[in-house]
Chains A and B, each alone.
Chain A
Amino acid sequence: MMSTTIEGVPPDPMLERRELIQQVAHKTLKRRMLRSRVVVGLCGFALLLALIPLFAILFSLVQKGLRWWSIDFFTKTPQFPSLLYPNDVGGIANALIGSLVIDTLAAVIAIPIGVVTGLFLAESDGQLANALRMTAEIMTGLPSILLGIFAYQMLVIGFHEWGIKLPGIGFAGIAGSFALGILMIPIIIKASENALRSVPFTIREAALALGARNGVVSRKVVIPTALPGLITAVLLALSRAVGETAPILWVIGASTVVTWNPLHEMASMPLQIFQSSTSPYTSLRAETWGIALTLVIIVLFLNLGSRLLAAWLRRERR
Chain B
Amino acid sequence: MPDPLLAERGKLFSVKSDWAYLLILYGVSGLFALICVVFLISVIVSSIPAWRHSGLSILYGRTWSQATDSFGALPIIVGTLLTTAIALVLAIPIGIGSALAIVHVLPGRARIFASSLVELLAAVPSVVYGLWGLLVLAPWFEKTVEPDLADITNGHWPFNPPFEGVGVLLAGCVLFVMILPMIVALSRDAISVVPNDQFEGALSVGATKWQVLRSVVLPAARTGIVGAVTLATARALGETVAVAMVIGLNPLFPHSLFSTASTLASTIALQFQDATPLQVAALGALAVILMAMTAIVNWIGRRLIQRSGAQAQFG
A interface with B by C-beta (< 8 Å): 25, 32-33, 35-36, 39-40, 42-47, 49-51, 53-54, 56-57, 60-61, 112-113, 116-117, 119-121, 123, 128, 132, 134-147, 149-150, 152-154, 182, 185-187, 189-190, 194, 210-216, 218, 220, 239-240, 242-246, 249-250, 270, 273-274, 277-278, 285, 288-289, 292, 295-296, 299-300, 303
Contact = CB atoms under 8 A, between A and B. Distances in A.
B125 A216 contact: no
Contact of A274 (B106, B241, B265, B315): B241
18 contacts: A35-B208, A40-B105, A113-B28, A119-B25, A135-B32, A141-B294, A143-B239, A143-B240, A146-B287, A210-B12, A215-B18, A215-B21, A270-B241, A273-B131, A277-B131, A295-B127, A299-B123, A300-B120
B109 to A, nearest CB: 15
A218 B135 contact: no
Given A143-B294, A145-B265, A277-B135, A245 B125 contact: yes
Contacts of B18: 213-215
Contacts of A285: 135
A258 to B, nearest CB: 22
Contact of B127 (A56, A149, A220, A243): A243
Interface string B120-154: 11011111111110111000000000000000000
A259 B154 CA distance: 56
Chain B, interface size category, equals 35 or more
B33 A245 contact: no
A243 B125 contact: yes
Nearest to B118: A50
Given A44-B101, A50-B118, A215 B20 contact: yes
Contacts of B24: 116
Contacts of A112: 28
Contacts of A273: 127-128, 131
Contact of B35 (A185, A288, A295): A185
A154 B114 CA distance: 43
